[in-house]
Structure 1
Amino acid sequence: MTTPLNSGQELSDKIHVTVNTQYMADHPASEADKFAFAYEINIANHSAESVQLINRWWLIIDGNGKQTEVEGAGVVGEQPHIASGNHFQYTSGAVLDTPVGSMQGYYEMQDKDGAMFRVPIDIFSLAVPHLIN
């Protein structure tokens, strides 16, 4: 028998976020002294209950230390429900003024009872390949 999760922290620990990034050399922004990156996010629900992604918050920092906050409802126009044992994957992007930078943030999720909790997204790099040895 599975014990139900009774706190946001316990549930948050069961939602795993992985990120893959790619420099988009052919993107129009990358030809205008900007650097375009795509990031693919996979959100896996290893808990015993369904959750819904309600909001997102990102902190994007370029190589000059310029910080940009991005927040809003859902991701890529969706507020997906992620059933127990399932995952949700999407791709989005960021444009930086420098060839290196980083992103980090969190998702605000809701459990089946309507309680909100945060799932942190660890810092990850955005970097033009072969720029740093």
Structure 2
Amino acid sequence: MVKKVTEGITISVETFYQPDYSNPIGGEFMFAYRITIENNNTFPIKLLRRHWFIIDSNGSHREVEGEGVVGVQPLLAPGETYQYVSGSNLRTEIGKMYGTYQMENQLDKKILDVRIPEFQMVVPFKLN
């Protein structure tokens, strides 16, 4: 698990290889990731947007941007956490992702750019 704190918000990431949804012979490797967002501030926050960078070990780069996460824009009270699971496919056995969440302080409407820590996605047999 990797963690990063930005603007009083902790982002934690765990990854899981999905062999049942992968096709190694066809160059398709599916990974799931679990994100935990923790609001350590004294004010509520709302997640407005996400911006991901996805990089395969062959040098291929993709960007994904959009509103919210998994179809929602969660609102977190002080001390509250929000967790979701999503996924990404790679063309290689090893890759990485990182990015940012755009969040809004619900008291003063200030926009916060919260960093998502870089995390690795590695097919388990590559670790031996």
TM-score, normalised by the number of residues in structure 2: 0.91
Give CA deviations for 1:60-93 in whole Å, capped at 9, x if unaligned: 0001010000000000000000110000000000
Q: Distance in 2 between matches of 1:86 and 1:68?
A: 31
Aligned Cα root-mean-square deviation (Å)? 1.3
Q: What residue is the counterpart of 2:84 in the other structure?
A: 90
Aligned residues: 121
Q: What residue is the counterpart of 1:13 in the other structure?
A: 7
Counterpart residue type for residue 93 of structure 1:
G
Aligned-partner SS, 1:53: strand
Richer in strand (by share): 2
Structure 1, unpaired ranges of 5+:
1-10
CA spacing shift, 1:49–1:66, aligned 2, 3 Å = same
User: Equivalent pairs: percent with the same residue?
Assistant: 42
Counterpart pick for 2:16 among 9, 14, 22: 22
TM-score, normalised by the number of residues in structure 1: 0.87
| In the alignment, structure 1 residue 75 sits paired with structure 2 residue 69 | yes
Q: Does structure 1 conserve the Cα–Cα contact (< 8 Å) formed by 2:7 and 2:112?
A: no
| In the alignment, structure 1 residue 36 sits paired with structure 2 residue 30 | yes
* Aligned-pair CA distance for 1:115: 1.4
Q: What residue is the counterpart of 1:129 in the other structure?
A: 124
Per mean C-alpha deviation after superposition, the further-off stretch among 113-122 and 85-94 is 113-122
Structure 2, unpaired ranges of 5+:
none
Q: What residue is the counterpart of 1:6 in the other structure?
A: none
Aligned-partner SS, 1:131: helix
Counterpart pick for 1:52 among 43, 46, 49: 46
Aligned-partner SS, 1:26: helix
